[in-house]
Amino acid sequence: MLSLRNKNQFASAAKISPKQIDELIRLEDEFGCTINQKCGLQQLIDKGKAYTAITEELADLAIGYDYNLPIIIPESESWILPAGAFGESCGPS
């Protein structure tokens, strides 16, 4: 979680894992310090925009403990890079 670097990544994490983000915000308040030196986590999230590629199915997959999707791509399909594969500089968002 702490490796997230920018407002859009934090906004996306908040969309996927709101309970965990709420806990981090609570801890910032409790300890009187923030993850980001310039502002609190909630302010950072409010400035960002969650990635549009996040769907409910992908969010469930990201926070789930089981992976039940195929791991081999049929020859008739081509590999598609996941959103954010190369940060915000390229790839689908």
What's the pLDDT score for residue 2? 44
More confident residue, 9 or 30: 30
More confident residue, 61 or 23: 23
Q: 26-83, pLDDT tens digit by residue?
A: 999 999 999 888 899 999 999 999 999 899 998 998 899 998 888 888 889 888 777 6
Neighbours of 32 (CB within 10 A): 6
